[in-house]
Structure 1
Amino acid sequence: MSLDSRAPTPHLPPPSTVRAAVLAAREFVSAHRRGLATTLAVLMAGFGVTAFGIAPLAPDAAELPRRLVTEAVEPEGLKGQLEALADAGIELRRSETTRASDTADSLLRRLGVVDAEAAQFLRADRTAQRVLNGRPGKMVSAELDDEGRLQSLVARFATDDDGSTTAPSRFQRLTIQRAERGGFSARVETAALGASTRLAGGTIRSSLFAATDDAGIPDAIAVQMAEMFSTDIDFHRELRKGDAFSVVYEALTADGEPITWNQGSGRVLAAEFVNNGKSYQAVWFGNADGKGGYYDFKGESKRRAFLASPMEFSRVTSGFSMRMHPILQTWRAHLGTDYGAPSGTPVRSVGDGIVEFAGWQNGYGNVVQLAHNGGRSTLYAHLSRVNVRKGQRVEQGQNIGNVGATGWATGPHLHFEFRVNGQHQDPLRIAKAAETVALDASQRPRFAQWAVAMKTQLEAADELQGVAGGRGE
């Protein structure tokens, strides 16, 4: 096929003509540059006016018609979903708390682990054995594959040095991991506990512990409150039905999980107690290293030279008064205070002093006697164990022995005496009148800010629990 030679072709001007036209245009633009610019500006302004004139004529979007479009979504068939699940690897997680009777097999069984190799590792490895050794109550979590084999196990528990302290700061984490090439490895590390703030409150109807139980407050927090207000309120004799309290305290966590030991509680941050119509407040104030104490909102320390009790809050079985002697069966002045407590309960010094006597003393059994400043002395009797020696200097709150039933005792308890210049005195009265420890003036501005924040939280707890104006019966 050949092209039609008769097809018309466009007529183009010769190159010389085009070149001459371009040169003429350049000369015109150069000669009339200002006029052209003005003309363009006028044209643009005209377009702008036209745009502003037209824009308001557009319809209001709110008046435009609306249409609801509904489309059915069909899920993938059940068979396809089941096949996808079958192809996916499954990891199961279970959590438990260790028991005193646990073995490697019983613990793994409760965790759903079916793995003889893992059980053998728990029995044989010295580090892994710590999951079951020592105090029960360790928090244990395990990861399993879809066949029940152990992939990893993590145990979280109290550090060896926190004992029965009310505000631990660290915990131990034991990790057991399955290796890629088979077998397991175990390691232990220490980590910091986390803390969250909780608000609570309650009303006294029978006892402090009954009220805190009703409010879901741990016993350790109740003990701290009794300690904080011990020089203001005699919780054994002055507590009244209808007394109310509110408290802000720490709830401790390990890796984000609430701890099960130490009742999961840390330090009381602030508290208010209304006893017989009178209100008492206390707020914790400390420094960066965690040391500090409790103060009222005016900055007066709640700590005095003498504690109100040689034990943490406990049941008084015989106060400072006349009584029938349980052995001699005669009425005698009881020149001390008896605290009923299980044998072995720690006994502490109520103040700084020096050990005057430590040993056996007739009807008192095992005794510790301390000398304090100002002609004051204290005596702790019927101890099962003496933990100090004569001439030793002790600090307030230091452990000096343990409750027992030695000497003339009908059961385990602590007999406590306070003497001033050889004369017996009521320990609680002495504690209330004892000198306080002042807050350093340089710390008062920071304390004032902290106290305001704590007072706000106490008011929130007050409203939350119905403390304001008293709780309903």
Structure 2
Amino acid sequence: MTHGLTTARTALLERIAQGIQKHPRRITAFVAAVLLTGGGGAFAVASLGPDPADLPVRLVELPVESLASGVALADLTDTGGFSLYRSEQVRSTDTAESLLQRMGVADPLAAAFLRRDTLVQRNLLGRTGRLVSAETSDDHSLQRLTARWAHDDSGNFKRLVVEKTDKGFVSRIETAPLTASTRLAGGVIHSSLFAATDASNIPDGVAVQLAELFSADIDFRRALRKGDRFSVVYETLVADGEPLRSGRVLSAEFVNNGKTHQALWFQEPGSDKGAYYTLDGQSKRRAYLASPLEFSRVTSGFAMRFHPILQKWRAHLGTDFAAPTGTPVRTVGDGVVDFAGVQNGFGNVVYVKHRNQHVTVYAHLNRIDVKKGQSVSQGQNIGTVGATGWATGPHLHFEFRVAGQHQDPMVIARQSEAAAPVSAAARPAFDRLASTMRIELSSAALIEQASAE
């Protein structure tokens, strides 16, 4: 009797297994329907289902043809070699040998070519910071070397290519368009602006633009506070898929001592020039720049000081900017050159006459690039930093005079009138851009907060 039950049970289980194999979807739907009816139904299904350990097991064997069928082992191992790629930045001390060695290239013929090639000497070796990449074979011999750089604001970049041919190495210069991508970043002030941007991996070029943008609102020398924060959206210019350098700041926000300052780059339709505005459409451009140099270190402000040459205390009626010899000096406002030449302790000096009896003075110049009577516009280069006249080292002495009286240039810049706001015709396009930039600046702030945490 027991043997008969066992045989029947075994036959039932085999039929159930065959049913599952033939109709898997129907069985699955049935089980799902039962499960949806509640716990009791689930218990019933569990009770009726066969024990998986009792289900029959079938071994299926199928022939599989080898992908390497009919191919000799030597042919499989002979892949024809492979290429290696590496990128670096050129250093001022690089020789042909040191550059190739740092890039993993072991090729005396390539080094000899780089040493004597005119294009390489003129555009690569000694050019600090230029991006260079190398392609080598599996034995580390050079196949192709490419250097990229952008030397102007034309929107293009130069590409130096050194390539191995059947007749040896050849070199050429190519021109190609840059592409722009947008990046978001933010930071918190703990000591200085540049320390904060460095901590957030923000390029120095972007940090300089931030200081320029808000120089009429914030005294970056004396008014920064620990805990001040900033967010920025900026362009990165890309060459052949590699970030080459930073581009323009598209929008920025700076919170200084609890007060929020914002800026947005906008070019009105039909105009060939753009400008920065607040997010409500007011121009950030004022009649005078806050500094005749791009963001620099102020060594002596508008106050009393101990004169380093005369060795006595006297009023310092201007601002001194420390900068290397040759640094470009720009006029802070539109005007006409009133004097350009040598004058006593000022050495090489330029006087620019502006409206409303305003005059600016640029002293100790190494070179003068304008002439008396020449009209100049705000931001135009008029010479370079030097140490002529009574100067202990290279720097720019800058003065601002109103009706013959010396005034603090920073105060004058902040009080000067702003340019016209966004025009009514361009307002809809500006408002759409401002709405987008508000979202991106908020995202940049969140990135900064996340990295800080």
| TM-score tier (shorter) | 0.7 to 0.9
Q: Secondary structure at the match of 1:279?
A: strand
**2:383 equivalent in structure 1:** 401
**2:26 equivalent in structure 1:** 59
> Which whole-Å CA distance do the structure 1 matches of 2:343 and 2:275 have between them?
36
Q: CA deviation at 1:278?
A: 0.8
**1:188 aligned to 2:173?**
yes
**1:341 aligned to 2:323?**
yes
Instruction: After TM superposition, list the pairs within 5 Å mapping 1:85-104 onto structure 2.
Output: 85-104=77-96
**2:289 equivalent in structure 1:** 307
Q: Secondary structure at the match of 1:250?
A: strand
> Which whole-Å CA distance do the structure 2 matches of 1:418 and 1:394 have between them?
16
**1:445 aligned to 2:428?**
yes
> Which whole-Å CA distance do the structure 1 matches of 2:180 and 2:88 have between them?
22
**2:17 equivalent in structure 1:** none
**1:257 aligned to 2:224?**
no
Q: CA deviation at 1:256?
A: 0.7
Q: Secondary structure at the match of 1:87?
A: coil
> Which whole-Å CA distance do the structure 1 matches of 2:424 and 2:441 have between them?
25
Asked if structure 2 preserves the Cα contact closer than 8 Å seen for 1:322 and 1:333, the reply is yes
Asked if structure 2 preserves the Cα contact closer than 8 Å seen for 1:383 and 1:405, the reply is yes
**2:45 equivalent in structure 1:** none
Which deviations, in whole Å up to 9, do the C-alpha atoms of 1:161-192 show, x marking residues without a partner? x2xxxx6732101222333x433333212122
**1:152 aligned to 2:144?**
yes
101-110 or 357-366, which moves further after superposition? 101-110
Q: Secondary structure at the match of 1:401?
A: strand
Identity across matched positions, percent: 58
> Which whole-Å CA distance do the structure 2 matches of 1:236 and 1:281 have between them?
19
Count of residue pairs brought into register by the alignment? 400
> Which whole-Å CA distance do the structure 2 matches of 1:417 and 1:115 have between them?
58
318-327 or 381-390, which moves further after superposition? 318-327
Which of residues 261, 273, 277 is equivalent to 2:258?
A: 277
Which of residues 158, 175, 185 is equivalent to 1:200?
A: 185
Which deviations, in whole Å up to 9, do the C-alpha atoms of 1:79-127 show, x marking residues without a partner? x989624334322223232232333333333333344443443344433
> In the superposition, relative to structure 1, how do residues 99 and 298 fare at CA in structure 2: closer, same or farther (>3 Å)?
same
**1:363 equivalent in structure 2:** 345
Asked if structure 2 preserves the Cα contact closer than 8 Å seen for 1:102 and 1:132, the reply is no
**1:176 aligned to 2:162?**
yes
**2:113 equivalent in structure 1:** 121
Asked if structure 2 preserves the Cα contact closer than 8 Å seen for 1:156 and 1:171, the reply is yes
Q: Which blocks of at least 5 consecutive residues in structure 2 are unaligned? A: 1-24, 32-48
Bigger radius of gyration: 1
Q: Secondary structure at the match of 1:127?
A: helix
**1:228 equivalent in structure 2:** 213
Q: CA deviation at 1:128?
A: 4.5
Instruction: After TM superposition, list the pairs within 5 Å mapping 1:325-340 onto structure 2.
Output: 325-340=307-322
Which of residues 428, 432, 437 is equivalent to 1:454?
A: 437
Taking structure 2 as the reference length, the TM-score comes to 0.79
Asked if structure 1 preserves the Cα contact closer than 8 Å seen for 2:268 and 2:426, the reply is no
The residue type equivalent to 2:164 in the other structure is R
Asked if structure 1 preserves the Cα contact closer than 8 Å seen for 2:96 and 2:125, the reply is no
> In the superposition, relative to structure 1, how do residues 274 and 129 fare at CA in structure 2: closer, same or farther (>3 Å)?
same
Q: CA deviation at 1:291?
A: 3.1
Q: Provide the aligned C-alpha RMSD in A.
A: 3.2
Q: CA deviation at 1:76?
A: 9.4
Q: CA deviation at 1:134?
A: 5.7
The residue type equivalent to 2:262 in the other structure is Q
Asked if structure 1 preserves the Cα contact closer than 8 Å seen for 2:95 and 2:125, the reply is no
Asked if structure 1 preserves the Cα contact closer than 8 Å seen for 2:94 and 2:125, the reply is no
Asked if structure 1 preserves the Cα contact closer than 8 Å seen for 2:83 and 2:135, the reply is yes
> Which whole-Å CA distance do the structure 1 matches of 2:330 and 2:73 have between them?
66
**1:353 aligned to 2:335?**
yes
Which deviations, in whole Å up to 9, do the C-alpha atoms of 1:266-308 show, x marking residues without a partner? 1111111111111110011136887311110111110111101
Q: Secondary structure at the match of 2:118?
A: coil
335-344 or 264-273, which moves further after superposition? 335-344
Q: CA deviation at 1:158?
A: 2.6
Q: Secondary structure at the match of 1:391?
A: coil
Q: CA deviation at 1:152?
A: 2.0
Asked if structure 2 preserves the Cα contact closer than 8 Å seen for 1:353 and 1:394, the reply is yes
Instruction: After TM superposition, list the pairs within 5 Å mapping 1:240-255 onto structure 2.
Output: 240-255=225-240
**1:28 equivalent in structure 2:** none
> Which whole-Å CA distance do the structure 2 matches of 1:235 and 1:108 have between them?
43
449-458 or 381-390, which moves further after superposition? 381-390
> Which whole-Å CA distance do the structure 2 matches of 1:326 and 1:272 have between them?
40
Asked if structure 1 preserves the Cα contact closer than 8 Å seen for 2:90 and 2:125, the reply is no
Q: CA deviation at 1:410?
A: 2.8
Asked if structure 2 preserves the Cα contact closer than 8 Å seen for 1:131 and 1:138, the reply is no
Asked if structure 1 preserves the Cα contact closer than 8 Å seen for 2:119 and 2:172, the reply is yes
**1:322 aligned to 2:304?**
yes
